[in-house]
Structure formats: C-alpha cells, structure tokens
A and B are shown apart, each in its own frame.
Chain A
Amino acid sequence: MTLFLLLLLLVLLAIVGRSQSEKIVVTLLLNSLILISSMVFMIMGFNIIFIGWLCFISMSLLTLFYQNGINQKTVSAFISFLIVTILMSVLIWFLCVRSGIYGLNERSWQDEDAVLLNFNININMVRVTYVVLVFGLLGAVKDSAMAVATDTYEVFCNHPDMTFRELFQSGMNIGKDILGVTINTLLFAAIGESILMCQMYFDCAYSLAELVNSKSLFQAAAVVIIGGIGVEISIPITSAVLGFLCTTYHKKTNFWPLNNSGNKKGLE
C-alpha cells in the first residue's frame, strides 16, 4: 500500500512537475535523513536543543535555498523565519515547561505500541517536545513567508522606486490573502489526524470539563495554534525585512541584482 502510493506519487510528480519534481524529491529525502540523524544524535546524548536548532537551520536552508534559489526573496524569508522562530521559541518553551504538553497523553500511553516500551531512557522529553514544536513551525512559516516575499518582490520589480512604507503595506495586503488559506491547511491536517480521537471522546463520554483540560486535545490544538500565530507574525516581519532589503540595503550597497525570475537565476 505504502509502496504503491509512493510509486504513484513519484510518477505523478514526474509527469506534472517535470523540472521541479527532482528538487522536491531530493528535499524530502534530505529532510527525512536530517530528521532521522537528529533522532540518532539525540539518543547518543548530545544536547537536544543544540541538535534541534542545527537541524532546524539546515532544514530551512535546504527547503528555502535549494528549492527556490538564493535571492532577495529567499534571504528575506530566511531572516524573517529566524526572527519568528526566536520569538515563538519563548512561547513554546513556556508551554513545554508549564503546561505539561510533553510525553504521552492520557490515551496514548495505553496504546499497544507504547505499552511495551521502557521509558527510562534518560532523554528529556521537555526538550524534545520543544524541538518538535519548532520543527512544526517550519513548514507553515516557510509557506507564508515565501508567499509574502515572492509577491511583494514582484510588486517591487514593477515599481522599483517604492518606499519602505509602501512596500511594507503591499506586503501586509498580500499577507491578508494568504493568512486564512495557510492556517486552514494546518487546521484540516490536524482535524484529519484526530478523527479517531474525536470518536474516542464520544466513546469514553468525556464531559466538557474533561475535554478542555485533556492532554490529547491540548497537544493536537497547540500545534495548530502555534503554527497559526507563527504564520500571522511572519507576515509583518517578512514585509518589513523585504522592505528593508529592497530599499535601504539595496540602495546603500547595490549588492543584489534585480531579477524577475529568481527561481532560475538564483544560483548564478
């Protein structure tokens, strides 16, 4: 089944995607490789947060610069990426320590795949959960930051004499359009994942009080909400960074050549 779907995906990618498909496949493979090696390093006893950030930066470099090339758009997306993540890290760390979001929830520790395991493994799950939540931000924030950066840059290329303020505002306008769609993606992914969990709440006759305090709901909701907040704050930050790079920085140094199709010329 898995193999069949995998082959189908590859064939479809080859037919539809053509030039881009190999990049997508390579990125996915490398990302999986980074994830697996990060787990191995965590097990070997390296500092979990350090490993997490190393993987985070290498994965974002990979997804941004390999898939989209090096240009103003990706650079500003990457900078805003880092700022958003650092801001969100504070919130995530607070949640990890205080709300007990780590570890197994009240349902999953009775599961057959968990019940046989031994959990005296000397790996701090608070830190692992922190890393997992930061990774979770990556996909959503990359989506919104890249969308804002690409479209605003397009506007800038058509009107190269725009001021910082105008660029920032056009970035915010574009952000409004993509905000809802991106968070919907996260929401529906989470709903689809927790269909059986919802049924379980009915089977076990959860009361409202039990439901809003349950760890399983909180774990599922926190991923979506943190991703959503990340997407929201990435919009003004990306607009500001791109505005700065395009106006002030560009005029001062003339370092970045203007080009319309960063995708192809990026690596020149």
Chain B
Amino acid sequence: MDIYSLLKNSGKYRLTIILPVLAVLLFIFNLIVYNDCSIYKTSIVKVVSTKISNTTTVSGDLGIEEPQYDQNLNCIFKNGAYKGKTVIITNTYTYTRMNNEAYHKGDFLFVKNINEENGTLSAAISSQKRDYFLSFLLSLLLFCAVAVAGKRGFLFFIALCINIGILILGFICFQTGISFILLTIIMILLFSILSLGICIGWNRKMIVTLIDTLFSISILAAIYCIALKVTPEVDYILMNYVSNGTLNLEVMFTCGMLIGSLGAIMDVAVSVTSGVSEILQKEPDISDESLSKSARQIGYDVMGTMINVLFYSYIVGRIPICIAQLVNGIQIGIILKYYMVYEVLRFLAGAIGIVLCIPISEFIAKNYYRKKVNVK
C-alpha cells in the first residue's frame, strides 16, 4: 500500500504541472476559435444589442394562442467587405421556438442577402455560429478526463478522436462505392480493437474481451437478419435525413444499429471478463458452478444499468418532437408504431445484444482462463 500511494502521489505532482498548462492551452485554443470569423467566407455578424420591438399573439390551426416576439438585433459585421459596419436585423420567434430561434447579445450569426440602400445595410440570418460552443464542450471533456484519470484520460480522448476519424474515413470510402456492409464490419473491428486496447491495455484480457464482443455482435446481427426475414418489413420512408434515393435504407439502418449496440456490448464484456479473471486470480480452485454464479451476478448488475443507458440515450431524445405530435392530435400508439419505431428497434436490438453477451462472455472467459490454469 505504501509504494502504491507513493506512486499515486508522484502522479499527483505531475498533474499539478500538467493541468494548468493544459488549461492555458485549451483557453488559447478556445479564444482562437471564438475569434476565427476572418477565416470564414460567409459574412458573419455579432449581435451587439437586442430589443423586443413588438409582441403579438398568434394562433395556428390548433387554436392555441401563444405570444410571438419581433426582435431587433443591432449587429456589427465581423468579416468580409462590410467589416466594422453595423446592420439592424429583425428576427421573429414564438414562445414555443420549435422552428425559430431567439438570439442574445454576443451571439455570432451567419447572414446572407446583404443589400446596401442609401447607406443603410440590410441582411437576413441564415444560421448561428456554433463552432466555439463545440470547442468549449470538447475542451471541457478533455480537461475533466485528464483531471480525473491523468494519462489514461488523455489516451482515452485520443481514442475518441481516432474513432471519429475512422467513422469519417469509412464514409469517404463508402462514397467511392465500396459496400456498406463490408465497411461496417471493418469499422466494428477497428472500433472494438482500438477502444478495448485503450481501456484495458494491450494484453491477453483484451483479446478475450475482443473475442466476446465480436462473437456477441455477430450473433446479434444474425438474429436481427432472421427477424428481418421472418417478420413483415419495416417502413423506412419516415427515416430522418433521406435525400439520396439510391441508398439501401435497410442496410444502413441495420449497420447503424449494430454500431450503436457495440458500445454497450463492449461494456458488458469488459465487466464480465475482468470479474471472471479477478475471481480466478484470487481463488484458482473455485468450482465451475460457483464461478458461473459469480460471473452471472456481475452480469446482472451491469445488464440492468446498461439497458437503462440505452433507454435514455435512444428514447429520451425524441421527447420534443413527441410533444409536438401529441399536441397535434396524433395518438401515442401511432407515434410509437410509426414515428418512433426506429428508436424502439434500436433500443430493443441493443438490449438483446446486452443480454446475449452475458452468457457468451462468461463461457469464453471461463474456458480461456480454465485452460490456462490447467496448462500450468
């Protein structure tokens, strides 16, 4: 325990140097992103002051009355030919703000249709500049990761970036006409090797966990494909973001679902495998039955949690549009059956993957470690 705490303390001293340096670097990075208007080709204005000029009451087809605000935005151009000039833009938003936005002092906006008449400028808002929010959130994620987990936190952040890089690379390859199924298989392999390597370290345990993960996900894929064959087809017409008619939506959706389940399956596989190896290290002579029992117990504990994680991350995101649909008189059954069907399918498939993973990883881990003990 003494050497251990000493090691821990030496890490602490290093962290006290690294953390402020990292904080300063991230602060500079965010400052650059915040002031990067000049590298954009589109015109950007900054809102200097806002004033609500007019408030009216509107009601749509539903007969629900709500206030609607006209907002006068006093803006200043930050780049391009008009840099430094001021413009007044009127923005209208409703209380609901489902398909419109309110702007505040200090926001940056992209504008289009700039006109100059008798020395006064006019323009129309196209969208808000959000890159600095994104960089701020990412910096916070990196900073907290390093503060909590030190070097491993940093490695984990790098792995996150590489994972996203793999995704982008995969999509670039897809544009050249390679089949998406093949690409998904390659992506799943790369994702799981990289993530497990970073999370567990490059050792035997990682290979066992990797085999668990890949085995579980292939069984999940097989089950899902059988389900696709034997049950009536799902209608993908209402799937979001359909603009390319040549896409095979069924394949895209299935592959997306598999990648979505990957994280949860990996989590379960890691917990069960580490649990089994830990138990065998402490008690190498444990009977098969009690080993299975403990492995299952670990599995149950993770299972409930992971199913909940999937539930929240898939289903909860649909609440805003769901509320709008409910108010518009669409019944809850119809929403579940037609509009939320993709989320529900993803959730169910992920949950099946998690449940499947427990006996599979228990079996593989048990046999692998048992063999090792017997050989010795």
Contact = CB atoms under 8 A, between A and B. Distances in A.
Interface of A: 1-6, 8-9, 12-13, 16-17, 19-20, 23-24, 27-28, 31-32, 35-36, 39-40, 42-43, 63, 67-68, 91, 95, 97-100, 102-104, 106-109, 111-114, 117-126, 128-129, 131-132, 135-136, 138-140, 142-143, 146-147, 150, 166, 169, 172, 175-177, 179-200, 202-204, 209, 212-215, 217-218, 221-223, 225-229, 232-233, 235-236, 263
Nearest to A173: B8
Contacts of A232: 141, 144-145, 147-149, 153
B69 interface: no
A147 B346 CA distance: 25
A14 to B, nearest CB: 10
A226 B141 CA distance: 8
A209 B42 contact: yes
Given A107-B241, A123-B96, 19 more contacts: A5-B349, A16-B358, A24-B307, A39-B322, A104-B321, A118-B62, A119-B60, A121-B324, A122-B96, A128-B319, A131-B319, A132-B317, A139-B312, A146-B305, A179-B148, A188-B262, A193-B256, A196-B242, A222-B137
Interface stretch (B80-88, B223-231, B364-372): B223-231
B179 interface: no
B260 A188 contact: yes
Contact of B300 (A2, A6, A9, A17): A17
Interface stretch (B19-27, B123-131, B283-291): B123-131
B339 A186 contact: no
A175 B60 contact: no
Given A42-B323, A192-B261, A232-B144, A97 B104 contact: yes
B323 A39 contact: yes
A24 B324 contact: no
Nearest to A234: B148
A139 to B, nearest CB: 3
B195 interface: yes
B141 to A, nearest CB: 5
Contacts of A27: 304, 308
21 contacts: A19-B300, A27-B308, A28-B307, A43-B326, A99-B130, A114-B321, A136-B312, A140-B313, A166-B1, A179-B149, A184-B195, A189-B310, A189-B313, A192-B258, A192-B259, A193-B314, A195-B252, A196-B253, A215-B128, A229-B144, A232-B148
A193 B195 CA distance: 19
A87 to B, nearest CB: 11
B153 A179 contact: yes
A132 B97 contact: no
Contacts of B198: 180
Contact of A16 (B255, B321, B355): B355
Contacts of A119: 60, 94, 96, 98-99, 324
Contact of B311 (A31, A113, A132, A176): A31
Contact of B326 (A9, A39, A214): A39
Contacts of B327: 43, 121, 123
B134 A1 contact: no
A4 B317 contact: no
A213 B60 contact: no
Contacts of A199: 171, 174, 241, 244, 247, 252
A143 B97 contact: no
A23 B1 CA distance: 39
Interface residues of B, number: 137
Main secondary structure of the interface of A (DSSP, over half): helix
B53 interface: no
A106 to B, nearest CB: 7
Given A16-B359, A184-B266, A192-B259, A120 B308 contact: no
Contact of A20 (B94, B107, B300): B300
Contacts of B223: 8
B14 to A, nearest CB: 15
Given A23-B304, A192-B258, A197-B240, A172 B128 contact: no
A108 B156 CA distance: 32
